[in-house]
Structure 1
Amino acid sequence: MDFAFGPEDEAFRRQARAWLAEHLPDGAARTPGRAWERELGTGGWTGLGWPRARGTYGNRAATVTEQVVWAEEYARAQAPARLGHLGENLLAPTLLAHGDDAQCARFLPAIARGEELWCQGYSEPGAGSDLAALRTTAVRADGGRTYRIDGRKIWTSLAHEADWCFVLARTTAGSLRHHGLSFLLVPMDQPGRIEVRPIRQMTGTADFNEVLFDGAQARAEHLVGGEGNGWRVAMGLLARERGVSTLVQQIGFAAELMRVTGLALRTGAAAEPVVRDRLVRQWAQLQIMRWNALRTLGATDDPGAPSVAKLLWGGWHRRLGELAMQVQGAAATVGPGDWHADRPYELDALQRLFLFTRADTIYGGSDEIQRNIIAERALGLPKEPRP
């Protein structure tokens, strides 16, 4: 299989590289923020490759390979982490596939301009990997003009920044599992009805949140895909979660692997046969991940492809964190700064890598769930019996 880029792709690469160099000069602040999202939108770099049958919405046309090129150049430029990822790469394609014209016209231009940020209301305290067990409810109110939403969502990335949340909720009373669910677009600016609580991690940071809905409202016209069809819409969204964006992730992984390899060379740990073997294995497996991601781009009819990708990168990244600690040796147990009781403890980059990657095989669907999906939906094996 030929994974080379063509002349048009390389011309696109030069254009992307030039724009990034102009807007991210050496020494420029590289922190994520709304201003950067708007700058990307003004440059036409948000929403690359959105299907144009429903309208352009201000985005730039791009083939799949050109989207890969942009993702690679963005990562190589060490550009800021995206705050608009969930809206651009998850919600927008979902609206184009399942939303109506009014929903596309209302939400897609604001996403393309970088003006509205989104978060995802899926997981709950009792329904993480087993999403079909969710209990958040949405009941018709105001004569059917709105939905009243009550429940709790957890591990919600960017909820403290988001303007909107796409929420999977149970709209049919007494329904079980994936039946009776609906996909709703909910404004976050509802004081007293929506509360966002940051979740402190063992790294000392708070990247995730718990979100409490207490009579929050969503307009009936912001129901996507029809009432009771939420599971189909939600699964379509999750299939898009592991497309081109996984290639950006892998470039970040490559940078982390180079950091670990460089440390191993400096400390002499690379001379140990076991460490050297693990470094080579990590490099080889990263190449396999890249080839698999390129092979499956656009394979929306393969129900197992997203789960295979998740199994590959989740385990790989976790092993890299463990390898980073092995390379550091005893120094891995000591922080880079003095400890003070009145401020959070400090960690270096590799210690943060190790602690965060402990969750890689759990969040986004645990390894056990991914294997079930592959077995049941891709291979057609009998479903696991339920109690």
Structure 2
Amino acid sequence: MATQAASDPTPLPLALADVQMAAERIGGSIVRTPTLHSKTLSDLTGATVYLKFENLQFTAAYKERGALNTLLQLDDAARAKGVIAASAGNHAQGLAYHGNRLGIPVTIVMPKPTPTVKVTQTEGHGASVILEGETFDEAYAHARQLEASNGYTFVHPFDDPRIMAGQGTVALEMLADAPDIDTLIVPIGGGGLVSGMATVAKAADRAIEVVGVEAELFPSMYNRVKGTDLAIGGDTLAEGIAVKEPGTITAQVIEALVDDIVLVSERKLEESVSLLLQIEKTVVEGAGAAGLAALLSNQERFAGRTIGIVLCGGNIDTRLLANVLLRDLARSGRLARLRIRLQDRPGALFHVSRIFHEQGVNIIEVYHQRVFTSLPAKGLITDIECETRDGAHLDRLMAALRAAGYSVSMVELD
């Protein structure tokens, strides 16, 4: 990776000038999101951490940049006929929003299982949505058919130099606002964002390392550039970068300019979403937290560096966000479910709850289990969901219960 020599005669499909021209085109129509230093995350990781808040774009994602840059380069005939894309995510909303603003008809093809909220949001930005196929591949194939039959212009979500150039404007802004950044950590799905940002970083007058990040469940670009054959697929929190087939144009840039790609676990993605909400008071989707997840997973590698992380999107389902936050509370010991064996007699629960009171622990829920248990008929299993201050507080509670003669265990998360 990052092996193309300066004397290599093969030109890359993207240059710094392309990104700079994209910045001029889109400058007045997208949000110039802030790049801010995070003292708390810096103290936590041992690096100097800057965050780029792309979740503050109007559609809550950086995808607007590439979509707008592409739309603004269409000729009058193409504008009149309209554009089409296959997407159930941020690309659809960015294209729909700016197409509507520019008076360009936008058609989005989504798989039939796409959540209603995504369909509604995209239609709310003025696009016509067609539900076709059970998978993204089927929706994509239908979009290409409509492109051919109706004369639409197909706008690819990542494998297009115009898209890549638009996304690269993120790096122009970051490096202007935080010129000391020496390392960029960038999420990779199809590779449009990291391609554009690496193009800017490697044209700088100083050394800037570019590290891409993929979810462990979707190491598609990782496999391609490293020659591995890791399994691809599964339910990832980072659905915005859950791409099975990375771009061919983006791969060419990544192989030449990106220094490394790292993989992050689902647990680190969940932890990062929760940390950003707690520390920075900002909501990010799983893909938007991937950069921080990579930093948290590789603290020794990045210690002492000045890191730039892109919070690339904030579109996360509220119920999913609630689950992520509750799971993080459980893993940190602030929320727990304890399984306690009692004798089925009057006052048994009272005596247990008194210990919770003495330890200053709040009881949230109590679940009695008399029937579905291997205990004798007079045995009783009680699960008590409780709220503590931290892991140490939980340990003191469990020690007090055992000292009182109770058999107690914690119901663990996976």
Same fold (TM over 0.5): no
TM-score using structure 1 length: 0.27
* Bigger fraction of residues in strand: 2
TM-score using structure 2 length: 0.26
Larger CA Rg, structure 1 vs 2: 2
Bigger RCO of structures 1 and 2 (CA < 8 A, at least 6 apart): 2
